[in-house]
Chain A
Amino acid sequence: EPEVTQTPSHQVTQMGQEVILRCVPISNHLYFYWYRQILGQKVEFLVSFYNNEISEKSEIFDDQFSVERPDGSNFTLKIRSTKLEDSAMYFCASSRQGGRTNTEAFFGQGTRLTVV
């Protein structure tokens, strides 16, 4: 069964460092997403991406964040200068369709980011 793959599963970084979280979405999917879950809190939408551009982003997704689909298979989330409050589980998701036609997004296993 196809699945969304995320690497690494855990990442520890020092405050102020740049991190790149990687995701390989399901191959025939066209819409890609990042969500995050701070420990003990709910899963929050960060950004959606379609046709090589951001289609929607939340207020959490500020200038420190960027997304890219560098090679047609990977989908990355970059945090330019990490802060302690960026510590969270980051989930990548993909779907074949978006908007009102999106009936299912498949989620990866997550990358746990710890900023120290």
Chain B
Amino acid sequence: AQSVTQPDIHITVSEGASLELRCNYSYGATPYLFWYVQSPGQGLQLLLKYFSGDTLVQGIKGFEAEFKRSQSSFNLRKPSVHWSDAAEYFCAVGGGDDKIIFGKGTRLHILP
């Protein structure tokens, strides 16, 4: 069965510091992988996606993620975070049917 694991429930980084949010997935074939961001009281916004090709994908707001098949990972990175990046981040996998399976999310806190 498809599943997504985000091992970190909370992450705190200082403004200007680099960020990496971890995501591991379980899926039998080549997955579609997504990162969504949810700001407080807001909906889900797609940051980036991978479905084929270059394993390093660029997204909005300066985020990038790298698909590593050997590690079943799709970690999200940003070289320098801004206070406005404080939000909840969801990794998700889609596959052979219509639904997207989400991880439990990682809440990002930014220290001034």
Contacts and interface: CB of A to CB of B under 8 A. Distances in A.
Interface stretch (B17-25, B64-72, B74-82, B93-101): B93-101
Contacts of A58: 99
Given A42-B104, A42-B105, A43-B90, A102 B32 contact: yes
Candidate in B42, B94, B95 with the most chain A CB atoms within 10 angstroms: B94
A108 interface: yes
B94 A102 contact: yes
Report the contact-size class of chain A (Cβ under 8 Å from the partner).
Answer: 20 to 34
A25 interface: no
User: Size class of B's contact patch?
Assistant: 20 to 34
A43 B96 contact: no
B94 A41 contact: no
Contacts of B36: 107
B56 interface: no
Contacts of B45: 107
Contacts, number: 58
B104 A102 contact: no
A102 B98 contact: yes
A110 B43 contact: yes
A21 B27 CA distance: 32
Interface string A75-114: 0000000000000000100000011101111111110000
Contact of B98 (A42, A43, A48, A107): A48
A44 B100 CA distance: 9
A98 B98 contact: yes
Given A91-B43, A109-B43, A50 B102 contact: no
Contacts of B46: 104, 106-107
Interface of A: 31, 33, 35, 41-45, 48, 50, 55-56, 58, 91, 98-100, 102-110
